[in-house]
Amino acid sequence: FILEDVNNLLNSGEIPNLYAPEEKVEIEEKLRPLAKKEGRINLFTNGTSEQFVDYFKEKVKGCLNIVLAMSPIGATLRNSIRMFPSLVNCCTINWFIQWPEDALQAVAEKFLRDVEMEDEELKDAILVCKDMHKYMREL
């Protein structure tokens, strides 16, 4: 189940039993020259398998971005969050829903209130901001 793997990855930085033992040896062999290049001579010469696993996780974490899209409609998201708490504890949640017209207008008014322009120009600028958001949704 993919959410369980994502939860483990977010929580501990790894997915249990993802690699077979021979794959771990191959990864270690490929990481050894990289460790030397980065100046980690002790890891290069005396590193244990466990140290190389930690080094591998560190390298992966530095490059990994996860985007997970779920609909907030229904019980699926709520149940997933209950079963896999790292989806909340270790993530940033962005809600992308339609904004009502009055909210779009209020935001435009707030950001444009300190801009020097005539009242009629201000009304037009607010309308443009509002319309841009509406039209972008339709695209």
pLDDT category at 1 given cuts 50, 70, 90 is low
Enumerate residues 6+ apart whose C-beta is below 8 A from 73: none
Phi, psi of 85 (to 5 degrees): -65, -20
Residue bearing tokens 């319309």 = 131
For residue range 4-24, list pLDDT tens digits in order: 999 998 888 888 888 999 999
For residue range 37-55, list pLDDT tens digits in order: 999 988 888 989 889 989 9
What element of type H or E holds 3? Answer: helix 2-12
Best CA proximity match to 126, nearest among 98, 56, 110: 110
Best CA proximity match to 71, nearest among 98, 44, 96: 96
Enumerate residues 6+ apart whose C-beta is below 8 A from 6: 66, 68, 84, 86, 87
For residue range 31-40, list pLDDT tens digits in order: 999 999 999 9
